[in-house]
């Protein structure tokens, strides 16, 4: 009924079939035939053809009012799309674990908010299982995690790489015989633990008699630690199992055991710098990639694209290849 509204609107504005046909570059008989088809669907004439210039009938006036409302709605939607593409409106929902929310995302969020202050940003801080559930259900647009999700269900966007190091309290005697292997906080800050042949990896067996503070089972850091223990033939003495890596780090910094800690956390914990030494363990599980994940086949909005772009440009993580 409104498919030919633009043609009919042109007739209304020109007040003449012949002038409208000329403006539309079609023949007058063709234009008249199209209008009659619309009028037949309505069951009433739109134009009073007995007047000169032609006038709208009462039904025609109502039809034209509807056409103008449709036109305004279309224009409003086009303006919305333009604003969305220019990020003048819209929202973005991000999810992350506690570590990345505290130490990786703040800088990226600040840059994004400064550039696009009109975008509503929603943040969720939770554990990996809950984040994946919210992503699958559509409650989150993006999550950042060092646990790689199923490629059958999620798209991934590489953000960076982090490395696990064995953190050992300086007061422990084991450090005295491992000086060639030691790394300090300053070394980590300068990335001397990455692709540096002068820093030797340490056999995990050197620490086999020391108590470990580990994450709970199911956590990616714990899974990697268990894999390392298995490959290095070390059966760890587990003192505590915890949910947050930051809590693990705080405990070992006061001498309560040793643990695997990510360089992401080490670099952002200067208060611990004089309490610990760090050691590289030669194992593939000490290196892990960090990704943004989105739900597969879900439309990637301009806001999502821009946040990922900013994150890649300003990521505080190592830019090692996947």
Domain membership of residue 73 (yes or no) is yes
CATH number at residue 107: 3.40.190.10
For residue 195, being part of any structural domain is answered with: yes
Across the chain, how many H-helices and E-strands are there?
12, 11
Mean pLDDT, residues 260-279:
88
Q: Which residue has the tokens 């694209």?
A: 305
Q: Which domain holds residue 63?
A: 5-85
Query: What pLDDT does 185 receive?
Result: 93
Phi and psi torsions of 233, nearest 5°: 55, 45
Task: Indicate whether 319 belongs to any domain.
Answer: no
C-alpha span between 272 and 255 (Å, rounded): 11
From 247, 187, 192, select the one nearest 216 (Cα to Cα): 247
Question: What are the pLDDT digits (tens) for 46-92?
Answer: 999 988 898 999 999 998 899 889 988 888 887 788 678 888 888 89
pLDDT in tens, 143-165: 999 888 888 999 999 999 999 99
Q: What CATH number has the domain bearing residue 58? A: 1.10.10.10
204-231 pLDDT per residue, tens? 999 999 999 999 998 899 999 999 999 9
Does 225 share its domain with 180? yes
Count of the separate structural domains present in the chain: 3
Q: Is residue 39 part of a domain?
A: yes
pLDDT band at 269 (very low <50, low <70, confident <90, very high): confident
* Cβ(147)–Cβ(135) below 8 Å: no
Look at residue 322 in the predicted model and tell me its pLDDT: 46
Question: Residues 142, 169: one domain?
Answer: no
Whether residues 137 and 102 share a domain: the answer is yes
Asked whether residue 322 is domain-assigned, the answer is no
How large is the average pLDDT for residues 101-105? Answer: 91
154 and 293 belong to one structural domain = yes
User: Token pair of 231, please?
Assistant: 């490959």
Do 108 and 41 lie in a common domain?
Answer: no
């Amino acid at each position: 009924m409104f498919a030919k509204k633009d043609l009919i609107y042109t007739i209304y504005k020109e007040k003449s079939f012949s002038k409208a046909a000329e403006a539309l570059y079609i023949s007058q008989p063709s234009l008249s035939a199209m209008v009659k088809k619309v009028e037949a669907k309505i069951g009433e004439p739109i134009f009073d053809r007995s007047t000169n210039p032609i006038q709208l009938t009462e039904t025609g006036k109502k039809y034209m009012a509807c056409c103008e409302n449709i036109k305004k709605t279309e224009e409003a939607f086009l303006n919305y799309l333009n604003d969305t593409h220019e990020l003048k409106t819209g929202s973005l929902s991000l999810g992350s674990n506690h570590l990345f929310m505290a130490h990786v995302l703040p800088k990226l969020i600040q840059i994004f908010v400064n550039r696009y202050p009109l975008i509503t940003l929603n943040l969720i801080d939770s554990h990996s299982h809950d984040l994946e559930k919210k992503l699958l259900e559509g409650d989150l647009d993006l999550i950042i995690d060092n646990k790689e999700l199923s490629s059958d269900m999620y798209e991934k966007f590489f953000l960076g790489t982090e490395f696990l190091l064995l953190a050992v309290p300086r007061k422990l005697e084991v450090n005295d015989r491992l000086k060639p292997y030691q790394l300090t906080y300053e070394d980590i800050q300068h990335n001397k633990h990455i692709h540096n042949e002068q820093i030797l990896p340490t056999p995990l067996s050197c620490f086999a008699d020391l108590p470990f503070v580990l994450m709970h089972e199911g956590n990616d850091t714990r899974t990697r630690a268990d894999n390392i223990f298995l490959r290095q033939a070390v059966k760890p003495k587990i003192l505590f199992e915890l949910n947050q890596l930051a809590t693990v780090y705080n405990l070992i910094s006061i001498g309560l055991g040793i643990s695997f800690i990510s360089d992401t956390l080490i670099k952002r914990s200067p208060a611990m710098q004089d309490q610990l030494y760090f050691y590289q363990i030669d194992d593939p599980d000490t290196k892990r990639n960090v990704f943004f994940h989105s739900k597969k086949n879900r439309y990637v909005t301009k806001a999502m694209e821009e946040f990922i772009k900013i994150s890649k440009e300003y990521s505080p993580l190592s830019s090692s290849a996947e």
